[in-house]
Amino acid sequence: MLIAERQTRLQELLAQRGMADMDSLAVQLNVSQSTVRRDIEQLEQLGLARRTHGGAIWIGDRAATGGRPYAFDARMDYQIDIKRRIAKAAKSLIQPGQTILLDGGTTTFYFAQELVGMQMQLITNSLPIANLFLNEDNVELILTGGVMYPRYGVLLGPAAEQLLAGIHTQTTFLSAAGIVEGWLYNQNMLLVQAEMKMIECSQRVVLLADSGKFGQQALVKLCELNEIDTVVCDAALAESYRKEICDAGCELVIAED
C-alpha cells in the first residue's frame, strides 16, 4: 500500500469510528504501530485527529470522509474557537481524581477532549464523549444507560434517570439551548428530565454556554439560573447578562480570547 493510500485509509477508519486504538489500526493497515503513530501525528498537525493514550480520536469532518455522523456533528463546526476557549477555561474547575458528570452536547464534547489523559471517574449519557475515553486506563467510565436518541448522541429515558437518581458526583457540566429571563431551556423533554436528575445528584453544577445562547429560548424549561453554581462563557457576553448571572448568585468564568 502506497503512503498516500495508507493515510487516506487511516482517515477513513478514524472518521467512521470516531476513535480507534493503535493495535487495531496497525493490523488493519498492515503496518507497524510506529508507522501508524507517525501518520496520526501528521493528521494531528492538520487538525484532523488527536492522539490519546493508546490510540486516536477523529476531530475532522466525519461526513466528508464517508463516516455517518450523529446529527449533532453538523453543529460541531459552529463557533469552534469559542467552544474550545470555554472548554479550556472550564478545565481549571476540576482536579485529577474527581468524580464528574458530563451532559451531552457539542460544547461539553470539546470540554471532554480537554480532559483526555486526566485521572478521574467520569459519568456521561453521551456516546461521543464516552468514545473519547474507551482506551483511557486512568478513567473509570460509567454510561448512564437508556434509549439512544440519535439527534444528540445521548442515552435518555427511565433507565438513565434511574442511574442518575442513585449516584452522587462532585461536579456536573451541563449544556443548554438557551437562557432567557433567569431560566435555562433545552430542546427535548426527555433530555431535560435527565438533566434535572444530573442537577439533583451533583455537589456543584457548571453551565458551559456560549454568549449566543443568552436571549434564546427553546422548548422546555430546565431550571432557574440560581440553581447553577458556575457559568463559563466567552468574552462577548453582554454586561446585562453578566449582571444577571452574578445577581443569581452564580460564579462567572469568562474564557478570554
Q: Three-class SS of residue 41?
A: helix
pLDDT class for 46, splitting at 50, 70, 90?
Answer: confident
**Cα–Cα–Cα angle for 144, 211, 240, rounded to 5 degrees:** 125
Whether residues 53 and 77 fall in one domain:
no
Verify that 128 and 61 share a domain, yes or no.
no
Residue with cell 443569581: 248
- Return the SS3 of 2: coil
Q: Quick one: 12 and 43 in the same domain?
A: yes
pLDDT of residue 68: 45
Task: Name the residue range of residue 45's domain.
Answer: 3-65
Please tell me whether residues 61 and 140 are part of one structural domain. Answer: no
Q: Are residues 173 and 90 in the same domain?
A: yes
Same domain, 100 and 203: yes
pTM: 0.76
Strand order in the sheet with 183-186: 178-180, 183-186, 220-224
Write phi, then psi, for 110 (nearest 5 degrees).
Answer: -65, -35
Task: For residue 74, give the 3-state DSSP assignment.
Answer: helix
Task: Please indicate whether residue 195 or residue 59 has the higher confidence score (pLDDT).
Answer: 195
- Look at residue 66 and tell me whether its pLDDT is greater than 60: no
Residue 7: give its domain's CATH number: 1.10.10.10
State whether 53 and 90 are in the same domain: no
Segment 220-233 shows an average pLDDT of 97
- Closest Cα partner for 15 from 70, 65, 77? 65
Could you tell me if 120 and 201 lie in one domain? yes
Cα distance between residue 256 and residue 129, in whole Å: 25
Say how many domains are in the chain.
2
d(CA 240, CA 155): 35
